[in-house]
């Protein structure tokens, strides 16, 4: 199966790298608009570059970077495109993908209507089987859904109230802020994240507020969850422990209490790009009071959606019908073990 990745930024480069580690799909190439360092590294790694239009060819030629062809050349050869272009650009490409009868995965920056399904492996893998257009929800929504679908399956979730403390920009971005403020996002809550969760869990009573803070490392979520049934703290921990895509972080044992230390941990573990594909739940924050559960979780925004993109490819191309098997294959290829390993 041949896969094209359109947009080779924060998400696209990671998804392309992950595709290269699968044995049932091939990275056909990537689409780039700028002949920058990322293009240079792609060429060094033997990845074929395609460009959106004739106007880009000259720019690449001037920098001595070989281009294999136009996006349309690639679309006539591939089975599926992972669109990782900036928010709202993916929707503009949809007509082109349709014209070439190529299946497409869109990212969370696109509106849900762009696709037939908003996707999270732990929640609705089966619904993505054979679909033509799927949207892998955003990093924050992926983090929320991994937790909520796991808890819903194990115990039942009735109501969620959450505050999302969002990173201002990705580490590579130099034009975004704030650099000295905490910004209400939006000033009139709720934030869109709860609404987005409902695209996958429509019956859930969820309300989210969000603020943006001057950091680039991770998001941090503070959640108050009303469970359907009484459950002990031990039962909740064991339900979370069973899922490889959720890591419990024992802050006492590791002497860790910040996202900065988590990133340092990823560095010391030798993880590629310091990435945490897993949702990181702060174990010591888990408190149960009757049916009410409180906890704090961290989301590495650059990496968390990568496994779901690979799973979505498998579902849409029917490379694997069983969600557990599909997840297992992706996890194995990316070194996701459910434990703090490299």
Catalytic residue list: 139
For residue 2, what are the contacts with CB-CB under 8 A and spacing of at least 6? 25, 26, 28, 77, 78, 79, 80
> ω into residue 304 within 30 of 0, thus cis?
no
CA separation for the pair 166, 183 (Å, rounded): 10
Cα–Cα dist 197/143, whole Å:
10
The answer to whether the peptide bond before residue 225 is cis (omega within 30 degrees of 0) is: no
Angstrom distances, CA of residue 79 to CA of 73, 74, 97, 208, 273:
13, 10, 10, 37, 28
Biggest CA–CA distance in the chain, Å, is: 66
Residues found near ligand NAD in the complex (CB under 6 A)? 6-12, 31, 33-34, 52, 84-87, 89, 107-110, 138-139, 170, 301-302, 305
Please identify, using beta-carbon distances, which residue of 123 and 155 lies nearer to ligand NAD. Answer: 123
**Nearest position to ligand NAD, beta carbon:** 9
In the complex, what is the shortest distance from the CB of residue 162 to ligand NAD, in angstroms, rounded to a whole number? 18
Q: Residues 66, 39: contact at Cβ < 8 Å?
A: no
**Contact yes or no for 148/197 (Cβ under 8 A):** yes
Which residue, 91 or 294, has its beta carbon nearer to ligand NAD?
A: 91
Report, in Å, the least distance between residue 158 CB and ligand NAD: 28
| DSSP 8-state code for residue 85 | P
Residue closer to ligand NAD, measured from CB, 109 or 194: 109
State the DSSP string of 40-52.
HHHHHTT--EEES
Token readout for 170 is 């990705």
User: Three-class SS of residue 199?
Assistant: coil
Q: How far is the CB of 23 from ligand NAD (least distance, A)?
A: 25
- In the bound state with ligand NAD, the residue whose beta carbon lies nearer, of 212 and 236, is 212
We find the least distance from the C-beta atom of residue 33 to ligand NAD, in angstroms, to be: 4
Long-range contacts formed by 61-70: CB under 8 A, 24+ apart: 62/35, 63/35, 63/39, 65/35, 65/39, 65/40, 68/29
Question: Residue 51 corresponds to which tokens in the numbers above?
Answer: 């460009």
Concatenate the DSSP letters of all residues of 151-191 into one string.
Answer: HHHHT-EEEEEEEEEEESS-TT-SS---SS--EESSSSSPP
Least distance CB 192 / ligand NAD (angstroms): 12
Cβ at position 273, least distance to ligand NAD in Å: 12
When the beta carbons of 108 and 194 are compared against ligand NAD, the nearer one is: 108
Phi, psi of 139 (to 5 degrees): -60, -45
* CB closer to ligand NAD out of 174 and 179: 174
Q: Are 117 and 124 in contact (CB under 8 A)?
A: yes
How far apart are CB 300 and ligand NAD at their closest, in Å?
A: 9
User: Cβ(306)–Cβ(14) under 8 Å?
Assistant: yes
Name which of 158 and 170 has its Cβ closer to ligand NAD.
170
């Amino acid at each position: 199966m041949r896969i094209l990745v359109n947009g080779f930024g924060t998400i696209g480069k990671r998804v392309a790298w992950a595709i290269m580690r699968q044995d049932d799909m091939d990275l056909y190439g990537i689409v780039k608009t700028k002949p920058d360092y990322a293009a240079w590294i792609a060429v060094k790694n033997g990845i074929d570059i395609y460009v959106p239009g004739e106007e880009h060819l000259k720019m690449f030629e001037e920098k001595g970077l070989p281009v294999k062809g136009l996006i349309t050349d690639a679309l006539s050869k591939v089975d599926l495109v992972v669109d990782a272009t900036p928010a709202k650009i993916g929707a503009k490409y949809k007509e082109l993908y349709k014209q070439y009868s190529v299946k497409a995965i869109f990212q969370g920056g696109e509106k849900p209507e762009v696709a037939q399904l908003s996707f999270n492996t732990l929640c609705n893998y089966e619904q993505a089987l054979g679909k033509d257009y799927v949207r892998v929800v955003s990093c924050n929504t992926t983090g929320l859904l991994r937790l909520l679908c796991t808890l819903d399956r194990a115990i039942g979730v009735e109501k969620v109230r959450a505050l999302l403390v969002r990173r201002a920009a990705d580490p590579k971005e130099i034009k975004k802020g704030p650099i000295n403020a905490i910004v209400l996002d939006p000033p009139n809550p709720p934030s869109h994240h709860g609404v987005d969760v409902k695209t996958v869990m429509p019956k859930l009573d969820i309300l989210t507020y969000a603020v943006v803070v001057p950091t680039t490392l991770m998001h941090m979520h503070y959640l108050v969850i009303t469970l359907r049934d009484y459950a002990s703290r031990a039962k909740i921990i064991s339900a979370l422990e069973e899922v490889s895509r959720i890591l419990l972080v024992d802050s006492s044992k590791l002497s860790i209490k910040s996202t900065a230390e988590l990133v340092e941990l990823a560095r010391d573990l030798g993880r590629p790009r310091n990435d945490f594909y897993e949702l990181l739940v702060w174990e010591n924050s888990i408190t149960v009071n009757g049916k009410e559960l409180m906890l704090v979780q961290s989301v590495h925004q650059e990496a968390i959606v990568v496994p779901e993109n690979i799973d979505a490819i498998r579902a849409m191309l029917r490379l694997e019908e069983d969600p557990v098997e599909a997840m297992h294959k992706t996890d194995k290829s990316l070194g996701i073990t459910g434990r703090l390993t490299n």
